[in-house]
Amino acid sequence: MISELLEYKFIVNSLLAGILASISCGIIGTYIVTRRMVFLSGGITHSSFGGIGIGYFLGFNPIISAAIFGVFSALGIEFISKRSDIREDSVIGILWSFGMAIGIMFIFLTPGYAPNLMSYLFGSILTVSTFDILLMLGLSIVLILVFTFFYRIILFISYDQEFARTHKIAVSLINYILIGLVALTIVLNIKVVGIILVISLLTIPQSIANLFTKNFRNIIIVSIVIGLIGAFMGLVISYKINIPSGASIIFSLVMIFLIAKLFQIIKGKINLKKQKI
């Protein structure tokens, strides 16, 4: 009876995590993809591993220290890349590996075995706690509010920053806030798919959505739906054959992408035939 209840709680938690991951990644992923910040996001993801290592060493919840570390790396990249003497992609490369190095150092300095380390690298939806769910819920609510109330200004700045500056809009401040939200989204989704795979949750649904719609708002909505489908398919596969959820979710998403692309190609061919060319 108790084991059944526990299993039930795991399933409910994983489902909730899947839903919340789809919402936050659907929104932030659209921002990242359209602003061409995928490499930058990869940098933030990997540098947050430093935070996880520090968390283990000091006995914190690694997600909290990773969130702090990730947000500061993100703000740092944004700040340093403004100064023209260092190339932005080099800064990202440095922080990317520096964060990983810090993480590895602290994990080896921590006495004993590091529990759940693999779950941070590859994701394990079964280890998602109620606390993690609450954090993800809070993030999703913040993101929905921000992208509803500031939609037109986010779209404006993302499309043409310089023009927005000529209109006296606080472009830098808004960029800092958004990159902070990018970092939080990445870190809070690490539990679901892992550091190594989280970037795909932010890019594959958007790439699929972009095949069918060229409207920012619609890309967000379609990405969330595709993320949900991918998460559920991935969870089922993960549960059935007992593999990390991260891998099975990404596998499902890439399969959806391939099917969507194939569908688009066939549709294009049919359209050409209709025009008798």
Partner 1 sequence: MEKILGIESVYAGYNNEVILKDVSLEVFDDDFIGIIGPNGGGKTTLLNVILGLIKPFKGSVEFFDDSKASRNNRIGYLPQINKIDKKFPITVNEVVLSGLIYGSAIFTRYTKSDREKAVETLERIGICDIKNTSIEELSGGQMQKVLLARALVSSPRLLILDEPNTFVDNQFEGELYEILKELNKEMAIIIVSHDVGTISSYIKTIACVNRSLHYHKSNKISEEQLASYNCPIKLITHGEVPHTVLKKHHH
Q: What sign for the dihedral angle of Cα 162, 167, 170, 175?
A: negative
Under rule CB under 8 A, residue 166 binds partner 1: yes
User: Token match 């590859």: residue?
Assistant: 122
The Cα 62–Cα 246 span in angstroms is: 18
Q: Given the rule CB under 8 A, which of 68-76, 88-96, 164-172, 178-186 is the region that contacts partner 1?
A: 164-172
Q: Are 74 and 183 in contact (CB under 8 A)?
A: yes
Does position 175 interact with partner 1 (CB under 8 A)? The reply is: no
Q: Which of 3, 5, 111, 162 binds partner 1 (CB under 8 A)?
A: 162
Burial of 39 (0-12, 13-18, 19+ CB in 10 A): middle
Could you say which residues in the range 89-148 bind partner 1, by CB under 8 A? none
For the bound state, the minimum distance from the C-beta of residue 159 to partner 1, rounded and expressed in Å, comes to: 5
Residue 48: both structure tokens together: 């947050």
Site for partner 1 contains 79 (CB under 8 A):
no
* Nearer Cβ to partner 1 (92/219): 219
∠40-144-24 over CA atoms, to 5°? 45
Q: Both tokens of residue 270?
A: 């049919």
Both tokens assigned to 237: 């596969």
Quick note: the x/- pattern for partner 1 over 30-69, rule CB under 8 A, is ----x-x---------------------------------
**165 sits near partner 1 (criterion: CB under 8 A):** yes
Q: Can you tell me the distance from the alpha carbon of 234 to that of 19, in angstroms, rounded to the nearest whole number?
A: 12
Would you say 110 or 172 has its CB closer to partner 1?
172
Per CB under 8 A, residues contacting partner 1 are 34, 36, 84-85, 149-150, 152-153, 155-156, 158-160, 162-170, 174, 210, 213-216, 219
